[in-house]
Structures are given as C-alpha cells and as structure tokens.
C-alpha cells in the first residue's frame, strides 16, 4: 500500500506485531503499512484482536513483540519532532465518550477545545451527520445511533492525521453510513490515514484488507 | 493552556448539572460534625478542645466521599481514552480534574467550616487559622485522592479500596492542619504548621498528577 511513497518510510509501518491479552496470544506476526491517503480495513472473527490492534496503535497497549513506526520513527518519539501535529490520532471506539448531562453541542465543543481544534466547526460537523437539529438537546435523550453519530462528529473537530475507527457503522442507518464513508474519503483526499475495524460492508475505495486470526 | 481550562469548565459544568454531588458532600460534613455535640455532650470546654480535630477528620471523610467519581465517569464512557490520546499531557488533565474536584468539594467545605466552628464553640483566633489551613490542606486532599481514584478506576467496586489507600496518606495533612488550629487556640505560633501544610501542597502539586497519570495509563490497557 505504499502507492504514494514519497519516501519508503512515510506513513505507518508495523512489523511482526503480536498481542497478548490475559496470558493468551491473540495474534502474532502481523505486518501492515498505511501510507498517507491510504486506508486499511481490519477484518476477522470476534476476539481476533481487531480492537486490541487499534488500541495498540493508539498507544493504550504496549506490543510485546514487533515494531510500530510513524514516518520511520518509533511511535513514542514522534511527539518531539517539530512540525508534527501533536494530536495525530483520532480514536472512535465502542464507547462514544458522550456525557449525558451535557447538550449535544456542548459535548462536541468540549472535544474540539481539548484537542485544540477551535469551536468553529461544531454545528457544521453536527449537520454533516444529520444531528444538527438536536444541538441543544441533552445527550441523554439521544438514541444509540444518534449517540454514535455524535461520537463520529468528533472526527471533524479534532484534527488528526490518523483515524482509528472501531466498528464505526454499528447502529447507524444507511444515510449515516454513507456520510461516514464520505468523511473517510475526504480525510484520505487530504492525505490522512484511516484504519477501520468492521464486520459491515463499507464502501472504502482502494482500501487494503488485513485479516486477523483466521479460524483458530 | 486553553485545553486545560476547557477541561476544568466542562467538569464544573457536569458537577453543576448533576447538582446534588457538591451539596451532598457539604451536608454530610455538616451533619456528621453536628453529631459530636450529641455524642460527647454539650460542655463547651470539651467541644472547644476537640473542635479542630473533629472538623478536620470529617473534612477528610467528606472529601473522600466524592473521590470515586473523579475518573470513573470518564473511564466508563470512554472519555478517558480520548483524554490520554489528546494533546494535553495526561498529568495536566489530572491536575485540571483535581482543580475541578477541589472547587466542587474542597472549597464548599472551607466555606461551610466557619459555621461548624461556631457550633463547636471555637474562638476567633482558631477560626481564621482553621480557614487558612483548610484552604491549604483541602487541595492536598484532592491531589492525593486522585492517586487512589486513578489506581482503582478500573475496578468495579473501588469505593472502599480508595479509603484504604488514601486515608493513611491523609494523616500528615490531618496532623499539621489540627496542629495549626490547636496552636492558634492556645496562643502559640501556628506559622510552622501552616508552612508545613504549604510545603505539602507544593510537593503534591507535581507529584500527585504524575503518579495518577501513570496509574491511569495502566488502567486503559
């Protein structure tokens, strides 16, 4: 997937990654590369380590073996590099990080402020995912799908080079899935990278596929 | 720095929306202290003698009541993951949350304490010292408590465990907090005690967020 390879090491490269959870080997010897503008689809049965791999890349888990590099440097070091965006990773996991006591717009504005993205695009981001009319509603009244959309709207207000999406389309209706696909396409057009773990069919043109834990 | 205040504002807003939390802590504080005159009898001399200790001990317990939710809500709904991932260093995130915690529990306790001082027949000299020591001491309670809250955040029932972890660490604050007020009441110099309390705050400010952040990083594994 190094189709844009300005330098051989640009983007994210993983070599021989392994993962252990609770003493059990979940996967081992995983290699992949995601170049700027590329997308990687993670597939595999439940428990094959898709979420663990995404959390490993986000830095929550330390890989017991293997190497993860970003533009040729180990992940931890990149922060010191001048010119690197400090918030390089946006993560949308199983949990939507939505505070029920805050309104929809307040939830999103908080993440925009925390990630230094400014509060400007909040309403736009909500409109984009079809929850703009709910901006003033306390988030506890949202349906599961609407909450999910609020979680995904975060991607638009927290600038990041790499998106890690864990089952982004669960509970979403068709129109919203299309909106998410459009977001991913735009992000890639801007040179962003996307990794998506999903069981659903998603239209992500030219995405590489990484299949984990084939039947064990 | 704006991310820091953004987090403080959000935690304050959440506390305000949830409403009850701060109020409950203060009511717990008032009620528990009120029990002592009933328990040990209304003799002014006895109450005066035990007042600083009672107020400080109950303040410790009241501050601890609310520690469990310092990180738990954010841990449960996935917000903590995103805070760790975000550009604000996790140590600063912890500091922001401690500040919000102090503003919603410690500060109300300080404000309520004069009322209790009157109830327990404390005189004017002890009174001002009490407020001064609580202003210095209660932020230390929030900061030390953050370590306990961070260590237990991934456990289902961390509430009791937090007390076991945190209460022993609160003892120095208690000793010097009570010491200062006692000294003032008996006309001795309260200044050394207050200086030690200040030193504790200065040491806790960098150390506790650092330790809590390390514990939080482990908890999201």
Q: Model ipTM?
A: 0.85
What is the predicted pLDDT for the residue at A3? 41
Q: What are phi and psi of B129, to 5 degrees?
A: -65, -40
How much is the pLDDT for A171? 87
DSSP annotation of A168 reads T
Domain encompassing residue B11: 2-219
Q: What is the pLDDT of residue A107?
A: 92
Distance CA(B98)–CA(B148), nearest Å, equals 12
A with B: how many residue pairs have Cβ under 8 Å apart?
Answer: 71
Instruction: Measure in Å the smallest separation between the Cα of B61 and chain A Cα atoms.
Output: 27
Calculate how close chain A gets to B217, using CA atoms only, in Å.
7
Are B86 and A114 within 8 A, CB to CB? Answer: yes
pLDDT of A82 reads 45
Q: How confident is chain B (221 residues) per 10-residue block, as mean pLDDT?
A: 88 87 88 89 86 91 88 91 89 95 92 86 83 94 94 84 91 94 88 95 96 92 80
Domain count, chain B: 1
CA distances from A46 to A57, A93, A163, B170 (A): 19, 15, 21, 46
Instruction: Indicate the burial class of A130 (C-beta count within 10 angstroms; 0-12, 13-18, 19 or more).
Output: middle
CA distance A150 to A162: 19
Q: Which residues pair with A68 in a beta bridge?
A: A14
A86 touches chain B (CB under 8 A): yes
Residues in chain A where the model's pLDDT stays below 50: 1-7, 82, 86, 215-216
B81 to A58: CB separation less than 8 angstroms, yes or no: yes
Chain A nearest CA to B195, separation (Å): 36
A102 touches chain B (CB under 8 A): yes
- Give the N- to C-terminal CA distance of chain B in Å, as an integer: 27
Check residue B220 and give its pLDDT.
85
Displacement of CA A85 from its chain's centroid (Å) = 16
A113–B83 CB contact, under 8 Å: no
Outline where DSSP puts E strands in A44-94. 67-70, 73-74, 89-92
Dump pLDDT digits (tens) for A128-184.
888 888 989 999 999 999 999 999 999 888 888 889 999 998 888 888 899 999 999
């Amino acid at each position: 997937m190094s189709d844009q390879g300005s330098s051989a090491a640009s983007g994210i490269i993983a070599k021989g990654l392994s993962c252990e959870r609770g003493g059990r080997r979940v996967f081992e010897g995983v290699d992949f590369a995601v170049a700027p503008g590329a997308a990687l689809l993670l597939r595999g049965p439940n428990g094959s380590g898709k979420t663990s791999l995404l959390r490993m890349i986000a830095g929550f888990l330390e890989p017991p073996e293997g190497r993860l590099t970003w533009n040729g440097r180990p992940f931890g070091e990149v922060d010191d590099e001048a010119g690197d965006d400090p918030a390089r990773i946006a993560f949308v996991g199983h949990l939507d990080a939505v505070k029920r006591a805050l309104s929809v717009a307040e939830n999103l504005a908080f993440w925009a402020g925390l990630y230094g993205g400014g509060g400007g695009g909040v309403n736009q981001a909500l409109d984009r995912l079809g929850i703009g009319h709910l901006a003033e509603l306390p988030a506890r009244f949202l349906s599961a799908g609407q909450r999910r959309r609020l979680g995904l709207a975060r991607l638009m207000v927290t600038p990041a080079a790499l998106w890690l999406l864990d089952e982004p389309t669960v509970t979403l209706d068709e129109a919203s899935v299309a909106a998410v696909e459009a977001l991913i396409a735009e992000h890639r057009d801007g040179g962003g990278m996307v990794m998506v773990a999903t069981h659903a069919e998603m239209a992500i043109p030219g995405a590489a596929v990484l299949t984990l834990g084939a039947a064990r | 720095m704006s991310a820091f205040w953004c987090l403080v504002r959000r935690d304050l807003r959440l506390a305000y929306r949830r409403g009850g939390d701060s109020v409950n802590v203060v009511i717990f504080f008032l009620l528990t202290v009120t029990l002592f005159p009933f328990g040990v009898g209304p003799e002014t001399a006895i109450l005066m003698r035990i007042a600083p200790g009672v107020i400080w001990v109950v303040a410790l317990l009241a501050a601890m009541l609310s520690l469990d939710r310092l990180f738990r809500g954010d841990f449960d709904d996935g917000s903590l993951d995103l805070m760790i991932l975000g550009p604000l260093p996790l140590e600063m995130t912890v500091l922001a949350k401690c500040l919000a915690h102090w503003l919603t529990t410690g500060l109300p306790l300080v404000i309520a304490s004069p009322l209790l001082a009157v109830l327990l027949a404390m005189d004017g000299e002890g009174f001002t010292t009490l407020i001064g020591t609580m202003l210095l001491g209660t932020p230390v309670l929030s900061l030390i408590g953050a370590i306990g809250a961070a260590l237990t955040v991934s456990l289902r029932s961390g509430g009791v465990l937090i007390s076991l972890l945190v209460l022993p660490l609160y003892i120095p604050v208690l000793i010097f907090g009570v010491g200062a007020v006692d000294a003032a009441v008996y006309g001795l110099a309260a200044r050394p005690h207050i200086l030690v309390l200040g030193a504790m705050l200065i040491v806790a400010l960098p150390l506790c967020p650092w330790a809590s952040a390390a514990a939080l990083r482990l908890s999201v594994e």
